[in-house]
Amino acid sequence: METTSASPVLSLTVYARWRRRLRLAFGVGPMLAVHFALLAIPFVEFTVWSAVAMLAVSRIIGLGITAGFHRSLAHHSFKTSRVVRFLLVALGCAALQKGPLWWVAQHRLHHKHSDTADDPHSPVVENFLHAHLGWLFTSNPAIPDGGIVRDLAKYPELVWLDRLWIVPGLLVASGCYACLGWNGLIYGYCLTAVLVLHVTFAINSVGHLFGRRRFETADGSRNNALLGILALGEGWHNNHHRDPRSARHGFAWYEYDETYVLICILKWCRLVWDVKLPHLASLRSSQPLSRSPR
């Protein structure tokens, strides 16, 4: 009796489906792992050194995201050497927000289609939960449009980090454990990583729903003072959408921008240069300069 083999097209479809599921699991797995690690908190004493570790690690990985992933890679808000850029981006990878090229692609799509149906994480089009973290489980785990990060994909060190983005996180976690044992691992790394993750997610959700709008941009972006502090300057989100390429997000003197402070320090040390500041037009007009993602 003659048997028939499975359709090649069907086999490819099943393979593609499982490949996508595995990539999605790999992408969100580390995020879920640090959340589950918090179940150990009742069994690990919180000490002064826990607080010190959390403060230090939050700045190390948080500024890696804000200065490295966001202002350097996504918007080219300043220029620096490939070595300094690699170090900033590697620290950003330790925040477990997936690879830098994937992160930048999603962020540029957000600016290009902000609060429209093509925005990866709009609380205006979808809902708060989707914008906060639900989109991570529904979005394409691969870079949706390779052309949108063509300017970065030509650098092999960034491609390497995009493929092995979990390595810096493992190194920072190991360092925390080596210094403070389980206290360092649970509080210094896992709890800190969770807090940094949710503060970043809040820019997508809270930052488009709650706060003041200094500029009438073509989206729902808001300036949120609490996020401005917690997110190291990223919470001045309406300012950012008004002038995306500016390295300074806090336009007013009272809008503290810790990431911009770091950039100024690096500039003083001659490690970065050509730091872009808000256009005069962006401070005078309420209309958006453009919808360009970078």
> Any idea what DSSP says for residue 80?
E
Query: Are residues 111 and 244 in contact, defined by beta-carbon separation less than 8 angstroms?
Result: yes
Task: Determine the pLDDT at residue 66.
Answer: 98
Query: Are residues 201 and 231 in contact, defined by beta-carbon separation less than 8 angstroms?
Result: no
Phi then psi for residue 185, to 5 deg, are: -70, -50
- The token pair that represents 164 in the structure block: 């092995």
- Tens place of pLDDT for every residue, the chain, 294 residues? 455 555 565 555 665 565 666 666 677 889 999 999 999 999 999 999 999 999 999 999 999 999 999 999 999 999 999 999 999 999 999 999 999 999 999 999 999 999 998 899 999 998 999 999 888 877 665 666 668 899 999 999 999 999 999 999 999 999 999 999 999 999 999 999 999 999 999 999 999 999 999 999 999 999 999 999 999 999 999 999 999 999 999 999 999 999 999 999 999 999 999 999 997 665 665 554 444 455
Query: Are residues 193 and 53 in contact, defined by beta-carbon separation less than 8 angstroms?
Result: no
Cα atoms in the Cβ-side hemisphere of radius 13 Å centred on 224: 22
- Report the distance separating Cα 244 and Cα 74, nearest Å: 9
Residue 119: name the closest of 247, 207, 214, 246 by CA.
207
pTM, two decimal places = 0.88
Sequence ranges of the domains in the chain: 9-284
Residue 133 class from Cβ within 10 Å (0-12 exposed, 13-18 middle, 19+ buried)?
middle
- The token pair that represents 210 in the structure block: 């709650």
- Report the distance separating Cα 105 and Cα 121, nearest Å: 13
Task: Determine the pLDDT at residue 290.
Answer: 46
Q: Which residue has the tokens 């490690």?
A: 271
**What is the DSSP annotation of 115-168?**
TSTT-TT-TTTS-HHIIIIIHHHHS-SS-S-GGGGHHHHT-HHHHHHHHSTHHH
Query: Are residues 91 and 168 in contact, defined by beta-carbon separation less than 8 angstroms?
Result: yes
- Report the distance separating Cα 250 and Cα 236, nearest Å: 6
Task: Determine the pLDDT at residue 36.
Answer: 96
